[in-house]
Structure 1
Amino acid sequence: MRAAIADILGGLALSDLSRLDAASRLQLQRVQSSAEQLARLTDETLAHMTGDTAAGADAPVSTTLGPFLGRIAARWTAHAGQHGVRFTMDRAEDLPARIGTDPAALERILSNLVGNAVKYSPDGEVALRVHMGPQEALCLRVSDTGPGFSDAAMARLFDFEGRPQDSARPGSGLGLHIVRDLAQRIRGQLQVANAPEGGALVSLILPRRAWAPGVETPAALEALPDLSGCRALLAEDNPTNQLLIRQMLETLAATVTVVEDGQEAAEALDGGGFDLALIDIEMPRLSGIDVIRQLRATEAPGTPMPVLAVTAFVLSANRDQIYAAGADGILAKPILSLDAFGEAVARVLRKRPGPAPDTAAAAPPVDPVHLDRLLALAGLEDGRELLSRMRDDFTQVCKGLAEGRARDDATLLRARTHVLISLAGAVGNSALQHQAEALNAAARADDRDAIGRSVAPLIAGVEAVCTALEQEFLGRYGEAAE
């Protein structure tokens, strides 16, 4: 199912919808949005049936809000129009560019709310307003011109199968029950009322600590990885996926070589000349698992190539097997956006930095998404103290690393890197985290050569974080940290 959905989404992504008339373009945009939702529901169903985690669950959640709302608008404008209902969306200008909220859950909530509103507003209008509320809460309000909620309906609104017996509309009453559970999952609140002028008003309120994105304007978005000078091998037997992934790689400025089966991939990698490999797991002649194993068995020591496995097989047993073969990351099919693709590529390059792209160097010392989440959880009044303590902790680690280098003390370096591993993860600096892990391993093994190579770059990375935290404090509170 996931492979078939990937073909649908890949074909739509490669199609030039701009040449179509408005009605046809709208219908295909609706198909695209529904296919994306089906992909997410398939993942959730697999997870529920197997007790496994859904595809991509180990990746940080980050949703670009503008395109997400655009897909919602395209889907429901077409759907409502088929029922004689006008759908409109009003987006405030001060919305965050990116939110850290599960897009699948958010889309299911809006689909239930808008779908109910369309059902109860024949020949009327349904509106979705998205705006910022008090204390930077993100508000999504669905209103309609229907009859509103009766007293009986309001009394059983969120109950399981809570539809009143005398309801004139078909249905089980599960919609709002599901919506409430989903809202609780993403730490949101539901508000339900009847509008004074008639019709229903249902709002999803996401407090800042629920959506905290760390990014407040489009200009502040973290850039996609720059793959200029990167020679990438793409091993993929599906023509649609070949075109789609190649197009994405070339958008990131990579030079791409495409092979169609596993044997060709193994031969190409054996010949060398590549900085990055994207390997489909299910291929003719030789599987992607075997290709990766052969690569890891034959590549020169100390120069591992970043490998991103591309697969529709996403359960933990599949992932464990892929990682055991030597893959650095897994990209689940279908690929839903260039942002998701770029993030997956960036992660494997940070794990095993290749010689060509500057992705790791370009990454900020402090990931604003991670930092903003920490500050949101701490609360507005505690944000100053938390940020100041983090700066102090990094400063102490930096001093300890310098002291350990000066004294040639592997035990001290091991202790400081142990602390740094968690600190770097807290601010989302995975490159620094991997450096700390490498130095920690070298200190445990008392590998003096590796220690000598690792300490200076690590200290420089910690100093960059300290500077970034000072700038964050100044930007947020208008003063330097004490």
Structure 2
Amino acid sequence: MPDTADQRAAAGRTFAVLAGLLVIGAILFLAFNVSREIRLLGSANSDNVQWSLAQTEVEFLEYRRHLDADPVNLSALRRNFDVFYSRMDTISQASVFETTRADVGFSDTLRDIQLFLTASVPIIDADDADLRLLLPELAALADGIRPSVRDLATAGLDIFARESDVRREAVARTMSQLAFALSLLIGTLGLAIFYLYRLIAIVSRRETQQKQTAVRLNTVIGTSLDGVIVSDARGRIIEFSPAAEVIFGHSRHDVIGRDIGQVIVPPHLRGAHDAGMERMRTTGEKHVVGKGRVKLEAQRANGELFPVELAIQSATTDTGEIYIAFLRDISARVAAEAELVAARDRALAGEKLKTEFLATMSHEIRTPLNGILGNMDLLHNTTLTPDQARYLRHMETSGRLLLTHVSDVLDITRYDAGKLNIQRVAMNLGDLVQDIIDSQSSMAAQNGTALDWGWDGPPQVWVESDPDRLQHVLMNLVGNAVKFTRQGKVSLTVSVRSDGQGDRLRVEIADTGPGLAADLKNRVFDDFVTGNTAYDRDVGGTGLGLAIAKRFVTALDGQIGVDSEPGQGCTFWIDIPIKRVTRHADAVETVRSSGKIAPLDILVVEDNEINRIVVRDMLQAAGHRVTEAHDGQQGMIKAQSHAYDLILMDISMPVMDGRTATRLIRAGQGASANTRILALTANVLQDERAAFLEDGMDGILTKPLTQAALHAALAKKDRAQTVPRAFDVIDSQHNRETRDVLGADTYDMMRSRFDADMSALIAELTDGAGDPAAIAAAAHKGAGSAAVFGAVALRETLKQIEAAAKSGDTDALPGLIAALPDLHRDTIAALA
């Protein structure tokens, strides 16, 4: 192939040179002929004119000689006159003398001669006798005109000389122009030849490049793992790559020229394929060509169907439009994807199974805990010896601690399952931090540690975030700092700043404790990691607190970290996005229902006998009437026949579960169709809670059940009533931690002191003595004491009194102060 290309290029160049030489030779030959013809034409005209003019004088002299002859030969005279006359007539009429006649001098001379001829003709034409008589007159006329005849010949010669000069100059000018034109033509031909040579070189180079490209393309196609099939506009295969041979099992020689639909398209798709090809031929409409990769089924030579990934492009050639198809066998990938989907389904099923298992275990653990803690709660209302009361408190502390661990594990499960709900509401950031500081101040005092907090930058009290998650995180971080710091200091710093993308909250908790080792610092947020795993450690914990905190911060789209060096304390920090807001009507406020509850007629549907007895005794101790049902079906039947004030419905029961029973009660026309139904369950997963409400339940009581929680639930008599947020009388977990830190004896002593201080405070506020500033100060002091014991309801009311006193809202103070005695009584009862 290269030799043939070189030969064609050499032949092209030789042809161009020969063509140029041939053109130049033709031009030279034509120029020579033109010059010769011009020269010959000029010579002929000159000789004729010169001879004619010279002969004019000769013929006139011959005529004059005959006039002087003696005797005069009249016939010869007349003949010579006629010759001269004819010559002059030729000069006057012939076109060859037209140029000379145009000369003024020549024309005047010719006119004089013609007058002479006109005067002489009558005499010449007379008879011989008269002619002989008039010969003297003819001689006189001839002598008179003889100078004119000589001038005519001379003028003709002058004119001829001038015309010859003009013609020579014209010929020379024409020849110069012809030479210039020839030179220009020769130069143009030279440039054309050079350009042609360049074109031949470019074409030759491009042809070489095309050959190299074709070689590379053939190599790429030949080594490509994707099959390449080229067909014409009618679908006939014109190229079939080696990879296509491997993929489809056909030999290239066997399929060239065959219809592509008959070779690789499965029978059930050939109709659509043929229709598509016909549509492209008739209308040019393309559905697959140029549309990227698509997935289709293809057929091998053995009839096997398999999935392919296909991309088709079109190109226009000299023979018409062609279609290039790139095909990839994706059988392995499809199988792998199917396996991944199956593995994902198995993983999801396993995750669901784990969630269901944990929910079941939560129910199974909380159910006996409900019995244990409920009975211990009932034992508080009986007469106990001091030792029995102490043993009971220890048992209750252990049970509550076990419940906390179960809740921690479920929090982790909810996060890992993606079911941790985040609710962003307006919240008072300063109050939240102050609550945490107040709740940890007692433990800090026991450790000899100073605990304080402050703002870094301008205070931003009201923000929008999830107060429950944020409180959990900060409580854990501050609690850890207080627990591990002895005779030192714990400082909490809060700042709200903008980073160009929004507002962010950063909280740093710095302590002067022992610090963290490098390896522990990298693992401190992992599950079940504690700072000290020795049996003699003086600080307890499961190692889940920081793991849960990290999950909560991540759920809030934030970050959490720690900076620490061994022996130099720790600085834990969180950084989360928030939104600056102003206080509004939707802000979280305390809702409290105090006072005694009128006796209610209550149906308890519970399959566990111990739990049923606990709930029954709690309700009966409060003066309520209780009817029991052992499963959901019994509960439904009793609810249809009797109108109850309240139904407590367990969820997991034999015969009929609580959700089904609730739906049937709501759907029927029974006596209790509109009665409030509260779920009594150990299942605390959020999606399950939502499902309970969708089934028609009005609320949820979580096992293990406490008298305080039961009292708060019974206070909500109106099924349609909703409140933004309700607080229990005390925060049981916080109260347990306080009791654990202080010890039983110290705790009892501090509780008695708190009871006395709170009685004095209520008496002081009820009397109405003091100005608003004094009321605010007293309420603030009382709120701090209540926070130590986790008395959240009492503390919130005191904070409202403080806020009202500071703002001058004297109308709200009486109602808030009037609620204090009942809150005080309920709080002391719960603390006992």
TM range, smaller chain:
0.3 to 0.5
Larger fraction in helix: 2
Structure with the bigger RCO (C-alpha within 8 Å, sep 6+) is 1
